[in-house]
Chain A
Amino acid sequence: MSLQDDVIADLKARFADRVLGEGSHVGQRWLDVKREGILDLLRACRDDHGCDVLMDLCGVDWLDKGMPERFCVVYELVNLKKAEHVRIKAWVPEDDPEIDTASDLWKAAPWAEREVYDMYGLTFRGHGDLRRILLPDAYQGHPLRKDYPLVGHGERQNFPRYGL
């Protein structure tokens, strides 16, 4: 059994009421979970299964593709001793785009969460420093949402003119 099989079996047994489903692609499995109590699952991964690195935390917008919710936050965890990955997907609804921050568990989380906030407009409860990280502070909207127009809402034209 690989680490991902262990973790998925264990989490399904211990947090049965929070699991929405699971899936796999090219041999990589993941667990779909509700956002409520996501920290309990992540803490179990870290403390009981040795996932000591949060390799990535990113958002996905599925818009109307028939997923459990519109947004999901993907946690890519790594156990450095075994050199294996574990993937957790937490689903976040459109009308209340909020989820608990993982910054107490991994120090790598805050910047990644700021990027998700910047690009998707998901807020992270308890983050403490949730500012835009890539776009200018005054930017309106969240451009990686699938219903955001490709050319923006006119931000490209609304700067002061220089030297004229």
Chain B
Amino acid sequence: MGLDSWMAEGAMTTRVTDLVSWSRKNSMWPMPFGVACCAIEMMATLSSRYDLARFGAEAIRFSPRQSDLMIVSGRISLKMMPVLGKIWEQMPEPKWCISMGACASCGGVFDTYAMIQGIDRFMPVHVYVPGCPPRPESLIDAVIKIQEIITTERANRAVSA
């Protein structure tokens, strides 16, 4: 009785890393860092009409220790950046970050003394979402891109960069 006949019963082979990636990408736990108007679109994305649960990312956690996907939606001020950095460091590896909207990505129209001109100067960003604010479809696209990153990268990487 060979392996082929046994697999015909409904089993399949894979690599452990692929299996881990597959389960990670379909059960992301977002940490919503909503600090301005973009957060409204993020809430719309999470709610029933756009339904981020279709991509396995509906378990919003306001505790960084229980989440692995940071969604920075809104403008970050000088005083908020250390808070954001601290929350990012509290998230366990592996973790990913979406910079949502013009303000988080580059400061947007707020080119003033109080505003951070792009969070990527201080912490890693994996996907940028353009728009002011981006539509929910754009954020869903970003989540799908994060899923692609998860499938293609090594599952046991030590540090996100």
Contact = CB atoms under 8 A, between A and B. Distances in A.
Interface of A: 134-136, 139, 143, 148-152, 155-157, 159-164
Contacts, number: 55
Contacts of A164: 123-124, 161
Given A150-B111, A157-B117, 7 more contacts: A135-B114, A152-B112, A152-B114, A156-B78, A156-B115, A156-B116, A159-B85
A151 B78 CA distance: 12
A159 B79 contact: no
Interface residues of B, number: 21
A139 B113 CA distance: 10
B78 A163 contact: no
A157 B117 CA distance: 8
B131 interface: no
Contacts of A162: 85-86, 88-89, 122-123
Interface in B41-82: 78-79, 81-82
Contact of A150 (B112, B123, B161): B112
Interface in B124-140: 124
Interface in B81-108: 81-82, 85-86, 88-89
Contacts of A150: 111-113
A149 B85 CA distance: 27
A159 B84 CA distance: 12
25 contacts: A135-B79, A135-B114, A136-B79, A143-B114, A149-B113, A155-B113, A156-B113, A156-B115, A157-B117, A159-B81, A159-B85, A159-B122, A160-B85, A161-B122, A161-B123, A162-B85, A162-B86, A162-B122, A162-B123, A163-B85, A163-B88, A163-B89, A163-B123, A163-B124, A164-B124
